[in-house]
Amino acid sequence: MRLQKINIGNLETPNNVFLAPLAGYSNAVFRKMCYDLGAGLTFTEMVSAKGLCYDSQKTEELLYVTDDYDGIKACQLFGNDPEYMRRACECEALAPFDIVDINMGCPVPKIYKNGEGCALLKDLKLASKIITECKKSGKTITAKIRIGVDDREYVTAKFARMCEDSGADMITVHGRTKDKIYSGEVNYREIALAKSAVHIPVIANGGILTPTDADRIMVKTGADGVMIARGAIFNPWLFSTLTGKPIADKKTAVLKQIADTRDIMGERFALVFMRKLVGFYIKGIRGANSLRIKLMNCRTTDELSEAVGKLDF
Q: Which of 34, 53, 89, 106 is catalytic?
A: 106
CATH 1.10.1200 correct for 250-309: yes
Domain boundaries, given as residue ranges, for the chain? 6-243, 250-309
Residue 202: what residue type? Answer: V
pLDDT on residue 101: 98
CATH tag, 6-243? 3.20.20.70
Q: Are 264 and 29 in contact (CB under 8 A)?
A: yes
Q: Do domains 6-243 and 250-309 have the same CATH topology?
A: no
Helices (H) and strands (E) in the chain, counts: 15, 10
Tens digit of each residue's pLDDT (9 = 90 or more) over 201-233: 999 999 999 999 999 999 999 999 999 999 999
The tally of CA atoms less than 13 A away on the side-chain side of residue 125 is 0
- Please, are residues 76 and 26 in contact by the beta-carbon 8 Å criterion? no
pLDDT digits (tens, 9 = 90+) for 96-136: 999 999 999 999 999 999 999 999 999 999 999 999 999 99
Render 176-220 in DSSP notation, one character per residue: S-GGGTT-S---HHHHHHHHHH-SS-EEEESS--SHHHHHHHHHH
CA distances from 137 to 60, 84, 232 (A): 18, 12, 31
Q: 75 an active-site residue? A: no
From first to last of its 313 residues, what are the pLDDT tens digits of the chain? 899 999 999 999 999 999 999 999 999 999 999 999 999 999 999 999 999 999 899 898 999 999 999 999 999 999 999 999 999 999 999 999 999 999 999 999 999 999 999 999 999 999 999 999 999 999 999 999 999 999 999 999 999 999 999 999 999 999 999 999 888 899 999 999 999 999 999 999 999 999 999 999 999 999 999 999 999 999 999 999 999 999 878 999 999 999 999 999 999 999 999 999 999 999 888 888 888 999 999 999 999 999 999 888 7
